Structure 1
Amino acid sequence: MHTNGIAIIETEKLPIKLWLKEDQMDEGALEQARNLANLPFAFKHIAIMPDTHEGYGMPIGAILATKGAIVPNAVGVDIGCGMCSLRTNLTDIATEDLKAIMGTIRNTVPVGFNHHETQQDEAWMPERKGELPIVNQEYESALYQVGTLGGGNHFIEIQKGSDGYIWIMIHSGSRNIGFTVANHYNDVAKQLNKEASDDVIVAQELAYIPESSEYFELYKNEMNYCLEFALANRKLMMERVKTAFRDVLPDVEFADFINKPHNFAAEEEHFGETVIVHRKGATRARKGEWGMIPGSQGTGSFLVKGKGEAQSFESCAHGAGRIMSRTKARKTLDLKEEIKSLEDRGILHGIRHREDLDEAPGSYKDIDEVMRNQVDLVEVQIELQPLAVIKG
């Protein structure tokens, strides 16, 4: 069934509303969406964004609203993962200057599994409020991790905007502290559900913490800390990037900082009721709210304003979304072709070996199609073209 361009699956307990065609979803993601729609505490409908693909328990690019329960796997293991953008006053940048800036960034921002060799200034760490047993356990380690990029699809990108300015965009999350919090409370949820004989939900990797449990507020406290830590992580990296720019171009100025997480749960009002909205690989897009939707390292990204669409729980896509798994990308993509496509566009990139192909442009969906599928959710303000990319 289609209504106003939205495809609707009505075979489950709740409707599933798709901002793409049903046959554009991989089977794994579709099965996961059906599982969400049959959860006893799910509210109203399930919203699936055009960048969706299979995740753990819940598809990436999905929104689940609940009443009386919170689902750690519907937030994900990288709590608070998101993006931030910053505009410079530059309207152009020479290739040699760009290379120098990227070299400094590589020397000051650890990537992949690397951390800082010394603890960073504690002033960067969010204030600890309330009971935070896992955060407290991981706090000292996190002082080495704040201001680090991580791996996977995380990136630092220098871009040229359709507004004429050079922009900086960073995509990263809460590093090991978020991972540890997520796994701990997913294990707690599994144990609680097994005791309540909710074995099917556990098997679907959708273990939940009921509102009646003492762990409900504990998880929310620790998740919210990880959200703040992820923002602090991006801010510190952005400071290092700003320093790299100033070292090469002393007169550069910066403005218009935007931050948007896309892995979190929040209490919100929708359809006249207070619910917990889980966004996993989805961005909040309230009316007039700024957001970022990146493509791959070979395609454009977009700065957008939300339209506040009720049917998507005021949400939109968080990126292009994968079209193939990391393993399949490494096995099937042509290394020379992927490098050539980036170099033909003059993009300074990090693809050198076959193992880098999991983040090659060919492993991602067409960002232009993703944007066409959500014209009712966001309005494009600025289009950004990549100039140079550092991948995690």
Structure 2
Amino acid sequence: MPVRQRITHTPVPVHIYTEDIEEEARQQLENIARLPFIHSHVAAMPDVHFGIGATVGSVIPARGAIIPAAVGVDIGCGMNAVRLSIRAEQLPDSLRPVRRAIERAIPVGFNQHRRDRARASTIDALLQGLKRIDERHPKLNVLGGNPRSNWVRQLGTLGGGNHFIEVCLDENGEVWLMLHSGSRGIGNRIGRYFIELARKQMEDRLSQIPDADLAWFDEGSTAFDDYLHAVHWAQDYAMWNRREMMRLLVESLRRVLPPFEATGEAINCHHNYVARERHFGAEVYLTRKGAISAREGELGIIPGSMGTRSYIVRGRGNADAFCSCSHGAGRRMSRNRARREFSHADLEAQTRGVECRKDGGVLDEIPAAYKDIDQVMANQHDLVEVVHTLKQVVCVKG
């Protein structure tokens, strides 16, 4: 059994798939397990760690309710990966031009495209759903007074923090492209707005719940319906953002790599989202906060850090984990602590052999700030099987 720890003194238990969990994260999980609508139990993945709103690495089954802060503000954040038809020996000796080509094609941080780069059909489809959000919640101002505002120019952009684009090699020497991003500024705005709305609507009851960040919407309420539409829109936006980014990435690399084709269908999976699913005899709104779906036979992506291995996996459909697995290695220290404890020399050493930035701007993403990805994978051998093991040779951070 991969369950390493159980919390049993709460109204429903918590099943934890690791021994490596800090006390703050454990307390967050207990708080979630005390909510009145949690079904069966709460699951905590092997990369679990303290988060804002709810524990990163938690899988939360709710009957008749959704917690906006559990989904968070990077709604639909996730991964995209595709294998190319070229091999390691066909890559150029210097990978600096490859990194530069990626950086020219994909805006990072707060930057966006100077003009619309996404397909018109994609923009038009997203616009229809956004108009409903704008009509129901004009204070949110998602259109910004202009249907072609920032959300359009940010389609196909990376963002900041732990978002990244990588060129990787698998165990057979085949080349992969892999990227990590979410719903950008528009998803952040939607998330923050509905988190605050939930707090306001529960103002009279906040003292009765263990954490104000766990304020929720009840199914059947107008706010619940509006949030469900908005969060699903943001999840769709995040999925299309990754697709557009991958399209631009492939176009840019054709100029600096030997001729290639994408082989097989791209893997595109969320790890911050909510979905209606059936588990343990009930229909629930399942929130995966830093976890991915791992139904039997389903392909997923579990990235390590910018200097370690990543994995393409196939789900085993483990019912106890709500058919889920970890979304990555998981942080073991805060960004501020990482900046205090490590130097540029440490970053150089831990990313040796990877073409990437090695300056103070990415020091908080140093591999040692993350848990051991190999231990994380060992703790979930009953949740997924490894299909491919990837090692990055180029990494572009947000």
**TM more than 0.5:** yes
1:351 & 1:164 partners in 2: Cα distance? 25
Q: Confirm or deny: 8 A CA contact 1:194 1:202 kept in the other structure.
A: no
* 1:350 equivalent among 357, 361, 379: 357
Following superposition, the deviation at residue 96 of structure 1 comes to 4.2
Following superposition, the deviation at residue 212 of structure 1 comes to 2.7
Following superposition of structure 1 onto structure 2, how do residues 83-232 of structure 1 map, counting pairs within 5 Å? Answer: 83-92=79-88, 93-96=90-93, 98-121=95-118, 122-125=120-123, 126-127=125-126, 128-129=128-129, 131-133=132-134, 134=140, 136-138=142-144, 140-195=149-204, 197-201=205-209, 203-232=211-240
AA paired with 1:41? F
Residue 366 (1) aligns with residue 372 (2):
yes
2:98 & 2:122 partners in 1: Cα distance? 23
Q: TM-score, normalised by structure 1?
A: 0.94
* 1:9 equivalent among 7, 10, 27: 7
Give the match for residue 64 of structure 1.
Answer: 60
SS of equivalent to 1:137: coil
Q: TM-score, normalised by structure 2?
A: 0.93
Q: Confirm or deny: 8 A CA contact 1:59 1:280 kept in the other structure.
A: yes
2:288 & 2:274 partners in 1: Cα distance? 6
Q: Confirm or deny: 8 A CA contact 1:245 1:252 kept in the other structure.
A: no
Give the match for residue 137 of structure 2.
Answer: none
Following superposition, the deviation at residue 70 of structure 1 comes to 0.5
2:2 & 2:54 partners in 1: Cα distance? 25
SS of equivalent to 1:90: strand
SS of equivalent to 1:74: helix
2:375 & 2:303 partners in 1: Cα distance? 13
1:61 & 1:166 partners in 2: Cα distance? 29
Gaps of 5+ in 1: none
SS of equivalent to 1:198: helix
Following superposition, the deviation at residue 6 of structure 1 comes to 3.5
AA paired with 2:391? Q
* 1:28 equivalent among 2, 24, 29: 24
1:308 & 1:222 partners in 2: Cα distance? 28
AA paired with 1:370? V
Gaps of 5+ in 2: 135-139
AA paired with 1:243? E
User: What CA deviation, in whole Å up to 9, does each residue of 1:234-276 have, x standing for no partner?
Assistant: 1111111111221123521112300010010010010111001
Instruction: State how many pairs are aligned.
Output: 384
Q: Confirm or deny: 8 A CA contact 1:193 1:199 kept in the other structure.
A: no
2:121 & 2:209 partners in 1: Cα distance? 41
Residue 386 (1) aligns with residue 395 (2):
no
Q: Confirm or deny: 8 A CA contact 1:173 1:230 kept in the other structure.
A: yes
SS of equivalent to 1:301: strand
Question: Structure 2 vs 1, CA of residues 30 and 204 (structure 1 numbering), >3 Å: closer, same or farther?
Answer: farther
1:341 & 1:202 partners in 2: Cα distance? 40
SS of equivalent to 2:48: strand
Greater shift after overlay, 284-293 or 233-242? 233-242
Q: Confirm or deny: 8 A CA contact 1:19 1:48 kept in the other structure.
A: yes
User: What CA deviation, in whole Å up to 9, does each residue of 1:145-199 have, x standing for no partner?
Assistant: 111100000000000011431000000000011001101111111111114x233
Following superposition, the deviation at residue 64 of structure 1 comes to 0.5
Greater shift after overlay, 157-166 or 92-101? 92-101
2:2 & 2:153 partners in 1: Cα distance? 49
Following superposition of structure 1 onto structure 2, how do residues 315-354 of structure 1 map, counting pairs within 5 Å? Answer: 315-343=324-352, 346-353=353-360
SS of equivalent to 1:88: strand
Greater shift after overlay, 124-133 or 27-36? 124-133
Give the match for residue 81 of structure 1.
Answer: 77
Q: Confirm or deny: 8 A CA contact 2:235 2:273 kept in the other structure.
A: yes
Percent of pairs with identical residues: 38
SS of equivalent to 2:61: strand
2:143 & 2:256 partners in 1: Cα distance? 40
Residue 46 (1) aligns with residue 47 (2):
no
Question: Structure 2 vs 1, CA of residues 200 and 358 (structure 1 numbering), >3 Å: closer, same or farther?
Answer: farther
Q: Confirm or deny: 8 A CA contact 1:351 1:360 kept in the other structure.
A: no
2:35 & 2:198 partners in 1: Cα distance? 15
1:97 & 1:205 partners in 2: Cα distance? 48
1:387 & 1:15 partners in 2: Cα distance? 42
Give the match for residue 234 of structure 1.
Answer: 242
User: What CA deviation, in whole Å up to 9, does each residue of 1:269-288 have, x standing for no partner?
Assistant: 10111001000000000000
SS of equivalent to 1:41: coil
Aligned-pair Cα RMSD in Å: 1.7
* 1:255 equivalent among 246, 260, 263: 263
